[in-house]
């Protein structure tokens, strides 16, 4: 898949693309990421891409002309899925990430200042995505968050596919605790079952820990699941069943 990023500060994104999983998926030709500076499409001698807001008020707005010109260059036939990163968009979740990983061409538009002229959103943008209920100074970091989340679910991204399958949110449950050597550290022991070599017991323990951790930290996630009698028994044994019942459905 190809991702084009249109930004005022693409240099924020470029170094991260050269590391870890992001580099690996690009080297494996699973993903191509191109970053573009919006100023390339500015037409005046100062390369300006922003202007004052009609109606007054503080803060500049990204002008429509350079953005439309850039979209015309990057996506001449209008087939790309254009995403505007904005705190007003739908909250990024793992299912959205997985759906977007099936696209062939994404264009990520990063805002700055007060954001983009509304006509860009009306005419060019397919989807608006937020990475959380807070306001950052630009869309570059949100774009990088989205690229990273997509890259790690692309086939071949992770050396061990199982490590993606167990991640938090992949099955609406938070990930279970992890331990590595040594078996005893600072008076704290690794749970016996993990040292047993008994795979079935280990899987059961991991599942129960995921369930309990989700019930403690994000009980509303469990509202979306059909809990089995065994699940409910695990939660009741920990006094967590009520917390799940009383949590708000998302």
Ligand X SMILES: C[S@@+](CC[C@H](N)C(=O)[O-])C[C@H]1O[C@@H](n2cnc3c(N)ncnc32)[C@H](O)[C@@H]1O
Q: Which residues bind ligand X (CB under 6 A)?
A: 85-88, 110-112, 114-115, 130-132, 134-139, 142
By beta-carbon proximity to ligand X, the closer residue of 57 and 182 is 57
**For 51, which DSSP code?**
E
Task: Give least dist CB 112 to ligand X, A.
Answer: 5
Q: What share of the chain is helix, strand, coil (3-state, %, to 5)?
A: 40, 20, 40
Tell me which H or E stretch contains 35.
strand 32-37
Strand residues in 53-197 grouped as ranges (E): 60-62, 81-91, 105-110, 127-130, 184-185, 188-189
By beta-carbon proximity to ligand X, the closer residue of 64 and 142 is 142
Please give the C-alpha separations between residue 94 and each of 45, 150, 168, in angstroms, as whole numbers: 43, 9, 9
By beta-carbon proximity to ligand X, the closer residue of 151 and 241 is 151
Query: Minimal CB distance to ligand X: which residue?
Result: 111
Task: Give least dist CB 91 to ligand X, A.
Answer: 9
N-terminal to C-terminal alpha carbon distance within the chain: 31
Choose among 95, 24, 147: nearest CA to 139. Answer: 147
Task: Give least dist CB 134 to ligand X, A.
Answer: 6
Hey, is 241 helix, strand or coil? helix
Only one residue has tokens 């993606």, namely: 164
By beta-carbon proximity to ligand X, the closer residue of 33 and 85 is 85
Task: Give least dist CB 99 to ligand X, A.
Answer: 18
By beta-carbon proximity to ligand X, the closer residue of 147 and 158 is 147
Task: Give least dist CB 145 to ligand X, A.
Answer: 8
Only one residue has tokens 């998302």, namely: 250
By beta-carbon proximity to ligand X, the closer residue of 111 and 219 is 111
Task: Give least dist CB 79 to ligand X, A.
Answer: 23
Task: Give least dist CB 146 to ligand X, A.
Answer: 9
86-114 residues labelled b (16+ CB within 10 A) or e (exposed): bbebeebeeebbeebbeeeebbbbbbbbe
By beta-carbon proximity to ligand X, the closer residue of 66 and 87 is 87
């Amino acid at each position: 898949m190809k991702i084009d990023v249109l930004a005022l500060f693409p240099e924020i994104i470029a170094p991260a693309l050269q590391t870890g999983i992001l580099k690996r998926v690009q080297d494996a030709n699973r993903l191509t990421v191109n970053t573009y500076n919006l100023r390339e499409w500015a037409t005046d001698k100062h390369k300006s891409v922003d202007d004052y807001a009609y109606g007054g008020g503080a803060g500049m707005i990204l002008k429509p002309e350079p953005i439309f010109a850039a979209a015309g260059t990057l996506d001449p036939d209008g087939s790309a899925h254009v995403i505007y990163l904005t705190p007003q968009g739908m909250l990024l979740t793992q299912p959205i990430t997985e759906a977007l990983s099936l696209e062939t061409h994404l264009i990520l538009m990063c805002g700055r200042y007060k954001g983009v002229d509304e006509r860009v959103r009306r005419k060019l943008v397919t989807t608006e995505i937020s990475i959380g209920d807070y306001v950052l100074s630009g869309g570059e970091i949100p774009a990088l968050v989205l690229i990273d989340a997509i890259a790690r679910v692309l086939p071949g991204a992770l050396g061990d596919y199982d490590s993606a399958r167990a991640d938090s949110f992949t099955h609406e449950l938070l990930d279970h605790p992890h331990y590595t050597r040594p078996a005893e550290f600072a008076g704290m022991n690794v749970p016996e079952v993990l040292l047993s070599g008994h795979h079935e017991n280990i899987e059961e323990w991991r599942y129960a820990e995921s369930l309990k951790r989700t019930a403690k930290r994000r009980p509303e996630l469990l509202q979306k699941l059909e809990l089995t009698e065994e699940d409910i028994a695990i939660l009741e044994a920990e006094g967590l069943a009520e917390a799940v019942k009383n949590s708000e459905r998302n």
